[in-house]
Amino acid sequence: MSIKSIAAKIFARKIYNKTQAWSAKPVETQFEVFKSLIQNAKETQFGKDHHFDTIKTFEDFQKNVPVRDYEDLKDYIEKVKIGEENILWKGKPLYFAKTSGTTSGAKYIPLTKESMPTHVNAARNAILHYINETGNADFVDGKMIFLQGSPILTEKHGIKFGRLSGIVAHFVPKYLQKNRMPSWETNCIEDWDTKVNTIVGETIKENMSVISGIPSWVQMYFERLQEKSGGKKIGEIFKNFNLFIYGGVNYEPYRAKFEQMIGKKVDSIELFPASEGFFAYQDSQKEKGMLLLLNSGIFYEFIKADEFFTEKPKRYTIGEVEIGVNYALIVSTNAGLWGYNIGDTIQFTSLKPYRVIVSGRIKHYISAFGEHVIANEVENAMKEATAGTNIVINEFTVAPQITPANGLPYHEWLIEFEKEPENIQAFAEAIDDSMRKQNIYYDDLITGNVLQKVVITRVSKNGFQEYMKSQGKLGGQNKIPRLSNDRKIADNLK
């Protein structure tokens, strides 16, 4: 055992103890964060506009600060972008993380001196919790790869602009610099195809022990490694690869494919990062869900997803939530976001401590007929339908077919198979059965002959990658929506 791995275990125990301390008093922890946020932003333009000097309680805050999305906050952000100070948070942000996804194009999310360390520390602490629980620390002596966006930044009005993953690349601790892959020059390559091929060349002979990234793009990296190595399993190429770290999407639909490519099971750690904040990480290999970070400069509110689009839905705080309910996640942060709807939905799997899973996007659902199917349901259905079989899925998405050429409307599952089922109809039946068990509204529509059962459409090899490339979204933090209420993706894939 190396000195570095011994030190990692000592540090891991220290961080674990700190986590235990704040997670044991969640409501108090959140109230302290809340008070600090209000106090620090009293003299900002936003604070004055919303009478922060009168806010003493959560109820005061909810009366003064409505739930907003990016478009609602954009006027304030535009002022910050041109260099104005004390608008959303004191002073100016250090960075703007550029993301896509709004009706008016790119979003620019501020990152401040206070918020930036929470992104870095959360990723570090996720690994330390793994070390503390498992005792496995030997991987710290191997090479680690983080598939991410380019770290090249631009600067305007004293604020740097870039992708979140590229910004975070500037904060890799010194003790990891020698272990970190790929090289800085390779990380700066913008074209994803070129970048992945270069990464393969740099890493194929290295002692890779940790691999991290969004599963769909790590899968692409693995495929290129296998092509380069003449079809070897990833576990043969990297004999000490034993830890996969991921975020952004649910790993379960990819797990069978990954285990086939790797040739063995490896431990995994799930993260819940976003430009708006690092919200949660998997703190245990034994428990379901990710630990919600209640002490990281973020005040959380929750709106039940089935009430979200009603007039004045109730906003719940941490002491009021329930296990298994689908909530839209609302945050106020030390980066200057206030009552901000990040677009993700979550469900609590535990209240002692508070652990969550990401169940989907509040705008990513299928409800063409009132069924309100969410991502978590389609992912569970795919998991159940493939369990105990040899079926391997590369990627999939689901869309409604409202006006079919023949017969009743249906949910179309567009699937890229690595290994197809022997009986595609039986596979569709298994998916449909699972959906009906999970969603009573969907079951009623099938029973009432409003919808016909699931229809599967095969997507050609690399079809999803080609689609993302055609949209200018190949690689990085981009990901395919698991489902949508229209046919834009489905028709493009077909």
Integer Cα distance of 457 and 484 in angstroms? 16
Q: What is the pLDDT of residue 150?
A: 87
Statement: residue 188 has pLDDT above 60: yes
**pLDDT, tens digit, for every residue of 165-186?**
889 888 887 777 788 899 999 9
Tell me how crowded residue 264 is: count the other CB atoms within 10 A of its CB.
11
Residues 6+ apart with CB under 8 A from 359: 326, 345, 346, 347, 374, 375, 376
Integer Cα distance of 445 and 448 in angstroms? 5
Q: What is the pLDDT of residue 104?
A: 47
Lowest mean pLDDT segment, chosen from 182-196, 315-329, 455-469, 473-487: 473-487
Statement: residue 249 has pLDDT above 80: no
Tell me how crowded residue 412 is: count the other CB atoms within 10 A of its CB.
19
**Within 13 A of 169's CA, how many CA atoms are on the CB side?**
28
**Mean predicted lDDT score pLDDT of the chain:** 92
Q: What is the pLDDT of residue 147?
A: 86
Q: What is the pLDDT of residue 101?
A: 56
Integer Cα distance of 248 and 236 in angstroms? 27
> What percent of the chain has a predicted confidence (pLDDT) above 90?
74
Beta bridge pairs of residue 327:
304, 346
Q: Give 100 or 374, the one with higher predicted confidence.
A: 374
Q: What is the pLDDT of residue 461?
A: 92
Domains of the chain by start residue, with CATH:
1-363 (3.40.50.980), 375-493 (3.30.300)
Give the pLDDT band (50/70/90) at residue 25: very high
Beta bridge pairs of residue 301:
330
Give the orientation angle of helix 3-23 with respect to helix 26-41, to 10 degrees.
90
**Within 13 A of 108's CA, how many CA atoms are on the CB side?**
19
Locate 105 and state its tokens. 């194009």
Residues 6+ apart with CB under 8 A from 189: 150, 195, 198
Q: What is the pLDDT of residue 177?
A: 75
Q: What is the pLDDT of residue 248?
A: 78
**pLDDT, tens digit, for every residue of 356-410?**
999 888 877 788 888 878 888 999 999 999 999 999 999 999 999 998 988 899 9
Q: Give 176 or 103, the one with higher predicted confidence.
A: 176
Please, what is the Cα angle at 372 between 371 and 373, to 5 degrees?
Answer: 95
Statement: residue 441 has pLDDT above 50: yes
**pLDDT, tens digit, for every residue of 261-320?**
999 999 999 999 999 999 999 999 999 999 999 999 999 999 998 898 888 999 999 999
pTM of the model: 0.84
Give the pLDDT band (50/70/90) at residue 252: confident
Phi/psi at 364 (5° precision):
-105, 95
Statement: residue 222 has pLDDT above 90: yes
Lowest mean pLDDT segment, chosen from 82-91, 107-116, 140-149: 140-149
38-71 burial string, b = 16+ CB within 10 Å, else e?
bebbeebbbbeebebeebeebeebbebbebbbbe
* Beta strands at 208-212 and 243-247: parallel, antiparallel or unpaired: parallel
Query: Of 138, 133, 283, which is closest to residue 210 (Cα–Cα)?
Result: 138
Average pLDDT over residues 20-30: 98
Residues 6+ apart with CB under 8 A from 317: 27, 30, 58, 300, 301, 302
Give the pLDDT band (50/70/90) at residue 476: low
**Within 13 A of 452's CA, how many CA atoms are on the CB side?**
14
Residues 6+ apart with CB under 8 A from 178: none
Q: What is the pLDDT of residue 299?
A: 98
Q: What is the pLDDT of residue 105?
A: 64
Residues 6+ apart with CB under 8 A from 149: 162, 163, 164, 165, 166, 475, 476, 477
Give the pLDDT band (50/70/90) at residue 103: very low
| One-letter amino acid for residue 84 of the chain | E
* Beta strands at 410-419 and 392-401: parallel, antiparallel or unpaired: antiparallel
- Contact at 8 Å (CB) between 194 and 188? no
Residues 6+ apart with CB under 8 A from 231: none
Statement: residue 102 has pLDDT above 50: no
